[in-house]
Chains A and B, each alone.
Chain A
């Protein structure tokens, strides 16, 4: 698997996990099914990754399309993730903040993080900046940048994208998503337990993988001229 292909797979994986945590309407489920079938064709290559088993299970579930009927799935989604009595709250503030009044500060910090790469926050967006789907979409965006950089053989740009991924993973999504995933797995829902299992495995794996990929573009490897962390990443 080339580095571009690996970054591309990671982009698709983050986007797919983000989609699986949003309202499962017909259009979204159809799109997820299409994406899952596309990724299933990479099966041989993905077996080299330790997350293969959990990931295959997720692709099997998502590629089946709107089954169980999306109404039933939407009811489950509301119970688990979105309703007023949701049993798993997919927000960073719920896991990492001790005080409610700190939530706006966290969201402001996240908006600044998104804005630094040119993403403007839409104030009409239904989900808060610390919603897991938003954080996963942001990681997907960074992986997309990395893939683009590899495609053009711009190693330094790829390194910078990896630095951002590493920092966001360590400061935000990597700190709480595995705990959330374990709670999702414990709910007993067939579809969401599979999503939780794949999410937990993927985040653990990607946290280490980013470190490893970054090592390989470190100054010692001769790819970056100076430590990526000092290359002006705000």
Chain B
């Protein structure tokens, strides 16, 4: 819900000390004019003096705040306490480090970049749906003095994910977030997922591992990231073409670039996520589908999810393969080197976009369910051959095929966490149906198939199949119970059972193939 000029829903507070690097009056005027419902204020010494910050908070009625600051606040705990005292939710605040922008880019360019980044932060904040009490955990302050052993002056809080039980399919056996968590901090218990907060490092990997968007993580939900990217790509400004620069929230890499006097083109627009390890292929490709010129990932400098960098490399390679198959240059997707000079070098050029000018953004492309739509949209944009099938170990999609021995018993469908495999009961037939866009290639179906070498899963992105929608893998007649008329079981399965029972079990097989489970006990004796 957006505010109005009279009742703004978002306030942007800009530190007046930024005036040396950014044209604050122009920036403030643009924010109020271009972003309806936003009130912008320039606050003297916002970053330097706590009292000014508290006074500024009292002066703005909006509940959501974007802070344009000289440097990210170093005393996070005091900063959050001030916000709470002013009846603000610290999670409904976005901090944009405009000081770094001022150090990287000079004069009017810095102001233009600041406009776009602030527009992105406003959009991200508006997509914030509120926090739950379980999404914060107190942590020990980084440095504890000996004296502090007996005192506890202030707490710091870490944002952790929570699971929306209404969306979660753990009751159906889904464990994708549990398997995806690099710290094994998620547990499945009695059909529900719990987060073991003490082990959680807030990397956000679970958010994108969930195919139902059931993991909520303030600041990193698909809705928030999608809204931010859409705003970055659509806000009117002179910076075109635009690239999206994903970086870990705590990565020092870009600060290192600025502090060494290096720079990169201002068209690279920053989108912070908890850790780049959480970015799935669809999030790398979605900005390109929205006519971004390129996407780059700053490697994770944090030890926390470092073990995940191999997975990140694999996803980047997959996306580059998609681009090559689409006939595009694969340098539109880049995993940047860690070394500061090499990182700045790798950002030096930005390719031309596929089409001129911005296009209407589709932030819904970031939803988990929209991953196939991203690929199809991208293939359409670049004119990819419709039959392209990309086999890659990091493909987010799989293709399932079954052989003649499939009996449509449904064991694979029971194991499938995303309903990509389903048994559909029609009037006279049982059908094993497969929806390619829902398959995440988790492989749970393979070991569940009782028939050897019958079910085959390939980690393939098949654009033709994604576009075609659900297909029937196997279809078999369903005989009816001779007593009550109810469907008994797929005929192929009954044949298989009969074969297993053999000659010795012929009498039992005759009952099983003629009567449903309810009528077997009361069926007339076989002649």
- Could you list 19 further interchain pairs (A-B, Cβ under 8 angstroms) beyond the known A2-B152, A52-B84, A53-B89? A3-B151, A6-B152, A43-B85, A47-B81, A47-B82, A47-B84, A50-B80, A50-B84, A52-B81, A52-B85, A200-B133, A204-B133, A208-B137, A208-B197, A209-B138, A215-B140, A216-B144, A221-B149, A223-B149
17 A-B pairs within 8 Å (CB atoms) are namely: A2-B150, A2-B151, A3-B151, A6-B152, A43-B85, A47-B82, A48-B154, A49-B155, A50-B84, A50-B136, A50-B155, A52-B81, A200-B133, A208-B198, A209-B138, A212-B138, A215-B140
- A205 to B139 alpha-carbon distance, docked (Å): 11
B-contact 0/1 string along A86-112, CB 8 Å cutoff: 000000000000000000000000000
B154 touches A51 (CB 8 A): no
Cβ–Cβ contact A205 & B151, under 8 A: no
- The answer to the question of B87 belonging to the interface, with a C-beta cut-off of 8 Å to chain A, is yes
Q: How many Å lie between the Cα of A6 and that of B157 in the bound state?
A: 16
Quick one: which of A57-99 are within 8 Å of B by CB?
Answer: none
A96 to B198, CA, bound (A): 24
Chain B residue at smallest Cβ distance from A221:
B149
| Number of B positions contacting A (CB below 8 A) | 26
Q: Is the CB of B157 within 8 A of A50?
A: yes
Report the bound CA distance from A204 to B150 in whole Å. 24
A141 contacts partner chain B, Cβ-Cβ < 8 Å: no
Q: Does B522 contact A (CB under 8 A)?
A: no
Does A54 interact with chain B (Cβ within 8 Å)?
Answer: yes
Docked-complex contact B137 and A153, CB < 8 angstroms: no
Bound Cα distance from A150 to B153, whole angstroms:
15
Contact indicator A3/B133 (Cβ below 8 Å): no
Asked if A25 is at the interface of the complex by the 8 Å CB criterion, the answer is: no
Partner of B153, one of A1, A50, A200, A204: A1
Q: How far is the CA of A221 from the CA of B145 in the complex (A)?
A: 12
Is B451's beta carbon under 8 Å from chain A? no
B349 is an interface residue with CB less than 8 A from chain A: no
Interface assignment of B508: CB less than 8 Å from any CB of chain A = no
Chain B residues in the interface with A (C-beta under 8 A) = 77, 80-82, 84-85, 87, 89, 133-134, 136-140, 144, 149-155, 157, 197-198
Chain A residues proximal to chain B, CB less than 8 Å: 1-3, 6, 43-44, 47-54, 150, 153, 178, 200-201, 204-205, 208-209, 211-212, 215-216, 221, 223
User: How many whole Å from A197's CB to the nearest CB in chain B?
Assistant: 8
What's the minimum C-beta distance from B168 to chain A, rounded to whole angstroms? 16
Q: Complex formed: what's the CA distance from A23 to B242 in Å? A: 63
| Contact between chains at B140 and A44 (CB < 8 Å) | no
CA distance A192 to B89 in the complex (A): 22
Other-chain residue from B85, B89, B138, B144 in contact with A47 (beta carbon distance below 8 A):
B85
Contact A205 B133 (CB under 8 A): yes
For the complex, give the distance between the alpha carbons of A168 and B89 in Å: 30
- Residues of B near A3 (CB, < 8 A) are 150-152
CA distance A54 to B89 in the complex (A): 11
- CB neighbours (8 Å) of A216 from chain B are 140, 144, 149
Docked complex Cα distance between A1 and B89 (Å): 22
Q: Do the beta carbons of B140 and A201 come within 8 Å of each other?
A: no
Complex: how many Å from CA A148 to CA B516? 70
**What residues of chain B lie closer than 8 Å to A2, measured between beta carbons?**
150-152
The reply to whether B155 and A201 form a contact with Cβ atoms under 8 Å apart is no
Q: Which residues of B contact A43 (CB under 8 A)?
A: 85
Given A50-B138, A211-B198, A212-B140, A1-B151 contact (CB < 8 Å):
yes
Nearest B residue (CB) for A202: B133
B81 / chain A contacts, CB cutoff of 8 Å:
47-48, 52
CB distance from A219 to the nearest CB of B (A): 14
**A198 nearest CB neighbor, chain B only:** B133
Given contacts A208-B138, A209-B138, A211-B198, contact A201 B84 (CB under 8 A): no
Considering the chains assembled together, what is the distance between the CA atoms of A117 and B348 in angstroms? 68
Q: A1-B152, A2-B150, A221-B149 are in contact. Are A51 and B133 (CB under 8 A)?
A: yes
With A and B bound together, what is the CA distance between A165 and B242 in angstroms? 54
**Chain A residues with Cβ under 8 A from B137's Cβ?**
208
Closest to A211 in B: B198
Give the shortest distance, in Å, between A51 (CB) and chain B (any CB): 7
Min C-beta distance of B73 to chain A, whole Å: 15
Chain A contacts for B150, CB-based, 8 A: 2-3, 150, 153
Minimum-distance CB pairs A-B, first 3: A201-B133, A47-B85, A52-B84
Q: Closest B-chain residue to A158, C-beta based?
A: B150
The distance in angstroms between the C-alpha atoms of A221 and B80, with both chains bound, is 27
Which residues of chain B are within 8 angstroms of A6 by Cβ–Cβ distance?
A: 152
Enumerate chain A residues within 8 angstroms of B136, measured Cβ to Cβ. 50, 205
Q: A208-B137, A212-B139 are in contact. Are A48 and B155 (CB under 8 A)?
A: yes
Q: How far is the CA of A221 from the CA of B85 in the complex (A)?
A: 32
Q: How far is the CB of A156 from chain B (nearest CB, A)?
A: 14
Q: How far is the CA of A48 from the CA of B157 in the complex (A)?
A: 10
Bound Cα distance from A215 to B139, whole angstroms: 10
Contact yes or no, B133 A44, CB < 8 A: no
* Alpha-carbon separation in the docked complex, A67 to B77 (Å): 36
For A153, the chain B residues whose CB sits under 8 A away are 150
Cross-chain contact A53 with B151 (CB below 8 angstroms):
no
Whole-angstrom distance between the alpha carbons of A211 and B196 in the complex?
12
List, in ascending order, chain A residues with CB within 8 A of B77's CB: 48
CB distance from B54 to the nearest CB of A (A): 11
Residues of A within 8 A of B82 (CB): 47
Instruction: Say whether, besides A49-B155, A212-B140, A44 and B85 are in contact (CB < 8 Å).
Output: yes
- Docked CA distance A3–B84 (Å): 22
Looking across the interface, which residue of chain B has its beta carbon closest to that of A208?
B137
Q: CA A3 – CA B152 in complex, angstroms? A: 6
Least Cβ–Cβ distance between B250 and chain A, in angstroms: 20
- Which of B89, B136, B198 has its CB near the most chain A CB atoms (within 10 A)? B136
Partner of A204, one of B134, B149, B151: B134
List A contacts of B197 (CB < 8 A): 208
Please give me the residue from chain B that is nearest to A54 by CB atom: B133
Complexed CA–CA distance, A216 and B140 (Å): 9
A residues near B134, Cβ cutoff 8 Å? 178, 204
Question: What's the Cα separation between A161 and B48 when bound, in Å?
Answer: 42
A2 to chain B, nearest CB (A): 5
Q: Hey, which chain B residues are within 8 Å of A178, CB to CB? A: 134
Assembled-state Cα–Cα distance A30/B266 (Å): 62
Cα–Cα distance between A51 and B133 once the two chains are bound (Å)? 8
Considering the chains assembled together, what is the distance between the CA atoms of A209 and B152 in angstroms? 12
Q: Considering only CB atoms, which chain A residue lies closest to B86 in the complex? A: A47
* A40 CB to nearest chain B CB (Å): 13
CA distance A71 to B23 in the complex (A): 62
Cα-based distance from A216 to B146 in the complex (angstroms): 12
With the chains together, A208 CA to B157 CA distance in Å?
11
Provide the residues of chain A in CB contact with B153, threshold 8 Å: 1, 48
Report the minimum CB–CB distance from B56 to chain A (whole Å).
Answer: 17
Complex: A49 Cα to B138 Cα, angstroms: 9
Known: A1-B152, A3-B151, A221-B149. A205 touches B84 (CB 8 A): no
